[in-house]
Amino acid sequence: MSIDSYEASRKRSDEIRADLPEHPEKYTMLTGDRPTGRLHLGHYFGTIRERVALQDLGISTRIIIADYQVITDRDTTANIADNVRNMVVDYLACGIDPAKTIIFTHSAVPALNQLMLPFLSLVTESELLRNPTVKAEQDASGHALTGLLLTYPVHQACDILFCKGNIVPVGKDQMPHIEQTRQIARRFNERYGHVFPEPDGLLNDAPAIPGLDGRKMSKSYGNAISLSATDAETAKLIKKSQTDADRNITYDPEGRPGVSALLTTAALCTGRTEADIAAEIGDGGSGTLKKYVTESVNAYLAPIRARREELLADMDYIEDVLHEGNRAANEIANATLDEVRETMGMVY
Ligand code: TRP
């Protein structure tokens, strides 16, 4: 997307953020994740924490576990049911409350998926081919551009619009999809009659959470601290992270990505600044730094991990949460699809 439209989105995002506590009743949040593994600290500080805050402001909140999106760039659904259930466990352990937030999966909501047909008629091949996030995902996967990979941003518009979501907390990479969703909503409304809002992205102000090597935190880079890791696994991962030979600890993300990523991780978990932590460690070297980071992360995650354990002991409850979420999402999707068919004159 162009710099101009990014700036415009950022401005709208800031305005909405200021309005949220004033008028929570105006907003419906829809966002979600692909169930490809366990949630990690990057997800937590990047978006999960914000979802909990929006939920607790009294905004209508819906979270999609995007199971059909898993096969945009993979050939297998191995472990998908286990990943979906663990994702519910992670959400609840972080403070998502199923009494307030609907948690559901793509594959359980047929009416959501049916929106794909009219929506596909509202986009052109060249718009689809221009999406930079789709291109990046195709390059990373080394796969052919399948029909699903090319059109999943339209499917994502179905995710957002089936519940008339108007705010979507996402990272920068998802902004082209939001832009596409706005266009679909606008074109539908113009062509057939007003049904859908034009949703806005809620851009995260926090800098991208670095993984242990200073690159973006991602499971596929092996640099991520999972919420579900044990204290010992966390210690081991931090211990083997790459730092440098300079014993004097300083915060310098460009020059010292490893040391700086560790400082940022500890800063997020303690509420202190990187500079403050660096000054305290001084000449202590990376051993002292790693010890401090490990203690900070494990202390921060202790209540989340304890809650995880409790939830894991009652998987029937997790199943119930998912069934109830899917039921509620179907009710909303059926009502929206009825409205779409009526607006399009397809009632027989
Ligand atoms: N594409 C998102 C990701 O990879 C997941 C997702 C699916 C999503 N549907 C969504 C995000 C709808 C926001 C809104 O993380």
Model confidence band, residue 206 (pLDDT cutoffs 50, 70, 90): low
Distance of CA 69 from the midpoint of ligand 1 (Å): 8
Helix (H, G, I), strand (E, B) or coil at 202: strand
What does the pLDDT look like over 255-301, one tens digit per residue? 999 999 999 999 999 999 999 999 999 999 999 999 999 999 999 99
Residues 82 and 191 in one domain: yes
The reported pTM is: 0.95
Question: Residues with Cβ within 6 A of ligand 1?
Answer: 30-34, 64, 66, 69, 156, 159-160, 168, 170, 174
Distance of CA 31 from the midpoint of ligand 1 (Å): 6
Give the mean pLDDT of 208-229.
86
Model confidence band, residue 64 (pLDDT cutoffs 50, 70, 90): very high
Distance of CA 63 from the midpoint of ligand 1 (Å): 9
CB neighbour burial string for 279-294, b if at least 16 within 10 angstroms, e if fewer = eebeeeebeebbebbb
Residues 273 and 338 in one domain: no
Q: Note down the domain range covering 61.
A: 3-206+315-343
Residues 225 and 289 in one domain: yes
List the Cα angle 276/278/282 in 5-degree steps. 120
Residues 61 and 131 in one domain: yes
Chain position carrying tokens 């009502």: 335
- Determine which residue's CA is closest to atom 5 belonging to ligand 1: 33
Per-residue model confidence (pLDDT) at position 210: 83
Residues 100 and 188 in one domain: yes
- Determine which residue's CA is closest to atom 14 belonging to ligand 1: 31
Reading the block at residue 10, the tokens are 């950022």
CATH number at residue 243: 1.10.240.10
Could you give the number of structural domains in the chain?
Answer: 2
Q: How far apart are CA 73 and CA 133, in angstroms?
A: 12
Distance of CA 159 from the midpoint of ligand 1 (Å): 8
Residues 174 and 298 in one domain: no
Residues 223 and 188 in one domain: no
What does the pLDDT look like over 168-191, one tens digit per residue? 998 888 999 999 999 999 999 999
Which atom belonging to ligand 1 lies closest to the Cα atom of 165? 14
Distance of CA 66 from the midpoint of ligand 1 (Å): 7
What does the pLDDT look like over 306-341, one tens digit per residue? 999 999 999 999 999 999 999 999 999 999 999 999
Residues 93 and 140 in one domain: yes
Residue from 174, 180, 182, 216 to probe ligand 1 pocket by mutation (most atoms less than 8 Å from CB): 174
Residues 189 and 257 in one domain: no
Q: Which residue has the higher pLDDT, 19 or 215?
A: 19
**213 within domain boundaries:** no
Residues 122 and 266 in one domain: no
Give the mean pLDDT of 83-97.
98
CATH number at residue 172: 3.40.50.620
